[in-house]
Amino acid sequence: MERLTKREFLKRMALAGGALASASLLAACGGAPTPTPVPAKPTEAPKPAEAPKPTAAAKPTEAPKPTEAAKPTVAPAAKPAASKEPVTLRMHMRAGGEKSEPAIYVQRPGEWEQETGNKVKLEPIPGGKDYIPKVDALAASNTIGDILWTSDVYSEHTHLVRFNVLEPVDDYLGPANVKKTEWFQPIIDTLTFNGKTYGLPKTGHPGDSYIWINLKAFDAAGIKRPETYGNTFEQIAEWANKLSKGPKDKREVYGYSSSVAILQAITNGIRQRGGDVIDAEGVKSLADGDAWWEWASWNAQLIAVDKVHPLADVVGTGGIAAMFGAEKVAMVHAQRSFERQARIASQGKFDYTSIQYPRGPKALGWGMSIDTHTGTAASKHKQETFSLVYAMADRRFAYLVAKEQGYLTGRVDNLDAIKELADDHFIKLQQKCTEESAAFWRAKNLRAYEVETAITNQMDLIWLGKRQLDKAFMAETKKVLDEVLAKPA
């Protein structure tokens, strides 16, 4: 229990800053590039036990053929040989997923049940920082199920690997005719430890790499409708000021909502200026570098000086999406979950579009935010579990998720798999950003939540006008982050 208590303490650290409201705070599906620093591999971790080799009698059949997966009919899964008796797999996932992501937790598991004769029992766990402590408790008490949702944006998947909670997939891939090249390389790299790969991706997406645009507001302000790609930071700032209405201390309309309060947004804001949050070894902050300075000073101008960004005191219960729908904010920097929010909030009252967040001349890859479904080492039904893990990462899965959720998964053949859905503007934009992504950074001590809290606590002082942004402040920020990174794992 000593390890669990320590982890629980870590996970109960407060999430970032209440001072700023951001659409990204509502994002789901979210996570956690090699022109970008490569994350430090946790080679010091205890090596997980070797997975049992699948026997000939139990090996999965061939994976679904590519042309079948995108059809709206049920496609075959990587299916284990028939058992004498059907089994029931217990799946841990974030509470509410069966309603917010029905394609993922209702439709595809339901198809798998029909294909295999086995059953899936969903066992929801509250999401956020309380999710992993609950999983830790289940593992410690030997009551954990067969498969669970994980994310590595905050290094939680890595934590579970280090403590031997998860089962590698390697020995099951060959018999099922499944290749790791079906998914983007940064995803596989992130999920691989000591030569073993743990889980298959529910998704790999580029986090906060998009800006939503109220085209009606652009037209009214006499601003030319922007191109999807190639816009600059200078243009965004110019548009934000032109689109804002009313005095600075009491705006009627805000020109731009900047996402600066979660790791995915902070990381991508800094990476598009040529730097990263921490170094490749995961032990030192880079807050005293040029990229950090450019990111901080650009946002400080918009938030604290021009005041074209809404602070928390003007954002109602509906959040930034409600303000966007009410035409109270004209541009929103967020991640992909905002697309559905914008569609619902706008209710067809005005045209909107999405564009790529600017990429500077030294831009690095977007941080690949990764969610998985992974079998547990404790499962007594490893063949069946792998079959379900693959069914929730295959081409059929990609089609259902794109159709019902508007999301792309981590497959390199996403656009081919989703067929007629591939012509959608936002789908194309997602794919482009995903192709430009690289592995997310990883703190060696895995204290990603604490890193996020330290950054947002510091930067809130600037956004709220309580401190002056200068090189001394950035040196102080680096020191604060280095103290977090120096803590034991």
Contact call for residues 278 and 285 (beta carbons, < 8 A)? yes
Range of lowest pLDDT (63-77, 111-125, 183-197, 281-295): 63-77
Bridge partners of 329?
254
> What type of residue sits at position 286?
L
- The values of phi and psi at residue 166, to 5°, are -105, 155
- CA 268 to CA 209: how far, in whole Å? 7
**pLDDT confidence band for 65 (50 / 70 / 90):** very low
Contact call for residues 145 and 379 (beta carbons, < 8 A)? yes
At residue 316, the pLDDT reads 85
**pLDDT confidence band for 135 (50 / 70 / 90):** very high
Residue 414 has pLDDT above 50, yes or no: yes
- CA 210 to CA 195: how far, in whole Å? 34
Contact call for residues 114 and 147 (beta carbons, < 8 A)? no
Contact call for residues 117 and 158 (beta carbons, < 8 A)? no
In 3D space, the residue among 166, 88, 90 whose CA is nearest the CA of residue 122 turns out to be 90
DSSP three-state, residue 157: helix
Residue 17 has pLDDT above 80, yes or no: no
Contact call for residues 272 and 363 (beta carbons, < 8 A)? yes
For residue range 223-265, list pLDDT tens digits in order. 999 999 999 999 999 999 999 999 999 999 999 999 999 999 9
DSSP three-state, residue 27: coil
- CA 171 to CA 453: how far, in whole Å? 39
**pLDDT confidence band for 56 (50 / 70 / 90):** very low
Contact call for residues 396 and 409 (beta carbons, < 8 A)? no
Tell me the average pLDDT across 303-330: 96
- CA 213 to CA 351: how far, in whole Å? 9
- CA 43 to CA 18: how far, in whole Å? 36
Burial class (CB in 10 A: 0-12, 13-18, 19+), 477: buried
Mind spelling out the 3-state secondary structure of 37-81? CCCCCCCCCCCCCCCCCCCCCCCCCCCCCHHHHCCCCCCCCCCCC
Secondary-structure breakdown of the chain: helix, strand, coil percentages, each rounded to the nearest 5: 40, 15, 45
Tell me the average pLDDT across 282-294: 98
| Number of other CB atoms surrounding residue 425 within 10 Å | 11
CA quadruple 195, 198, 200, 203: dihedral, nearest 10: -100
At residue 54, the pLDDT reads 36
**Chain centroid, CA 392 distance in Å:** 17
For residue range 367-390, list pLDDT tens digits in order. 999 999 999 999 999 999 999 999
In 3D space, the residue among 167, 91, 162, 95 whose CA is nearest the CA of residue 130 turns out to be 95
Contact call for residues 253 and 246 (beta carbons, < 8 A)? yes
Contact call for residues 375 and 393 (beta carbons, < 8 A)? no
Residue 68 has pLDDT above 60, yes or no: no
**pLDDT confidence band for 101 (50 / 70 / 90):** very high
| Number of other CB atoms surrounding residue 85 within 10 Å | 7
Q: Calculate ∠ Cα 252-254-257, nearest 5°.
A: 150
Q: Which residues contact 392 (CB under 8 A, 6 or more apart)?
A: 104, 108, 109, 112, 200, 202, 373
**pLDDT confidence band for 70 (50 / 70 / 90):** very low
> What type of residue sits at position 19?
A
In 3D space, the residue among 476, 461, 467, 450 whose CA is nearest the CA of residue 14 turns out to be 450
At residue 80, the pLDDT reads 53
For residue range 341-368, list pLDDT tens digits in order. 999 999 999 999 999 999 999 999 999 9
At residue 84, the pLDDT reads 65
Contact call for residues 356 and 428 (beta carbons, < 8 A)? no
Distances (CA, A) of 122 to 97, 114, 145: 10, 16, 10
Contact call for residues 279 and 217 (beta carbons, < 8 A)? no
Tell me the average pLDDT across 24-51: 36
- CA 485 to CA 445: how far, in whole Å? 7
Residue 2 has pLDDT above 70, yes or no: no
Range of lowest pLDDT (15-24, 92-101, 250-259): 15-24
pTM: 0.82
At residue 458, the pLDDT reads 98
Contact call for residues 409 and 206 (beta carbons, < 8 A)? no
Range of lowest pLDDT (74-78, 192-196, 297-301, 333-337): 74-78
- The values of phi and psi at residue 150, to 5°, are -135, 165
At residue 66, the pLDDT reads 34
At residue 62, the pLDDT reads 36
Question: Which residue's entry shows tokens 């036990």?
Answer: 49
Domains of the chain and any CATH numbers: 2-12+29-205+369-427 (3.40.190.10), 210-366+443-485 (3.40.190.10)
DSSP three-state, residue 7: helix
**pLDDT confidence band for 64 (50 / 70 / 90):** very low
In 3D space, the residue among 302, 306, 299, 289 whose CA is nearest the CA of residue 471 turns out to be 289
